[in-house]
């Protein structure tokens, strides 16, 4: 074939694209298990963060195995669901279902002193994208032991502040059962109080929409756990 012809140029480009595409696809497939391992390790670290455990670099998987002594899925009645792995549940997808249809993951964390905490995932929407987190409860099923929140693209210095301890630390000691009623923790403007008497934290200054998103996320994702948490409360 004439190397100066248009046909040769077209064939050359096609072959080059196929070879490069094949190489990239093969590389992607080869790296996929490692990428998934990193995603899983990051998720494990976030779950532990809700229980105020900060793994050393590279130790998230080991610490998860050490402190997370049980994990299971419950339904809206607080009953365990057989045959479903908690870690594999897509919380984002579940958060869009009716509460009665959801699979609700529970991570049981046993601290070094033997205290048991129950860590529940939450997922919602901020101003620019998804927000998510984990809330750890004491064995009484009402008192928040710790919380962790993250985001995909909230504004730095504003909504992105939900990932900072200054925000999440406010949740420590808050109650979701007050006066015999289940009331998810409210996120309100600094200086204000909710009308319904529930426990609350101050929202992010300048991050009103993200703060409201956190409040809505807690309401939507913790309310389906009401009967499960109520059972813990009775057992304790």
Please check the confidence at residue 38 and state whether its pLDDT lies above 90.
Answer: no
pTM of the model: 0.85
Please check the confidence at residue 2 and state whether its pLDDT lies above 60.
Answer: no
pLDDT tens per residue, range 49-58: 999 999 999 9
pLDDT tens per residue, range 89-130: 999 999 999 999 999 999 999 999 999 999 999 999 999 999
Question: Domain segments of the chain: what residues?
Answer: 47-235
Residues of the chain with pLDDT > 70: what percent?
91
Let me know: does 200 contact 214? Beta carbons within 8 Å. no
Per-residue pLDDT band for 213 (boundaries 50, 70, 90) equals very high
Per-residue pLDDT band for 234 (boundaries 50, 70, 90) equals confident
191, 197, 231, 199: which is closest to 215 by C-alpha?
199
Higher pLDDT residue, 30 or 80? 80
Three-state DSSP state, 179 = coil
Q: Determine whether 132 is exposed, middle or buried from the number of CB atoms within 10 Å of its CB (0-12, 13-18, 19+).
A: buried
Residue 203 to residue 161: CA distance in whole angstroms? 10
Let me know: does 94 contact 74? Beta carbons within 8 Å. no
Q: How many helices (H) and strands (E) does the chain have?
A: 6, 9
User: How far out from the chain centre does Cα 216 lie?
Assistant: 14
Element (H, E) at 208: helix 208-222
Residue 149 to residue 67: CA distance in whole angstroms? 20
């Amino acid at each position: 074939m004439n190397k100066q012809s248009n046909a040769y140029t077209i064939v050359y480009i096609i072959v080059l694209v196929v070879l490069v595409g094949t190489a990239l696809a093969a590389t992607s497939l080869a790296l996929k298990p490692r990428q998934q391992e990193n995603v899983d390790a990051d998720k494990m670290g976030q779950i532990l963060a809700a229980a105020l455990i900060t793994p050393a670099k590279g130790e998230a998987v080991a610490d998860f195995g050490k402190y997370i002594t049980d994990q299971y899925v419950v339904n809206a009645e607080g009953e365990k669901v057989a045959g479903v792995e908690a870690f594999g549940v897509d919380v984002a997808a579940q958060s869009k279902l009716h509460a009665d249809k959801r699979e609700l993951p529970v991570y049981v964390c046993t601290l070094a002193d033997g205290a048991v905490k129950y860590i529940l995932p939450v997922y919602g929407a901020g101003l620019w994208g998804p927000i998510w987190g984990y809330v750890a409860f004491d064995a009484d099923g009402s008192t928040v032991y710790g919380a962790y929140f993250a985001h995909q693209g909230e504004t730095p210095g504003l909504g992105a502040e939900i990932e900072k301890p200054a925000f999440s630390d406010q949740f420590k000691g808050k109650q979701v059962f007050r006066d015999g009623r289940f009331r998810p923790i409210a996120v309100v403007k600094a200086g204000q109080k909710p009308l319904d008497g529930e426990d609350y934290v101050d929202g992010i200054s300048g991050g009103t929409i993200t703060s409201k998103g956190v409040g809505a996320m807690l309401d939507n994702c913790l309310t389906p756990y009401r009967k499960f948490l109520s059972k813990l409360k009775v057992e304790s």
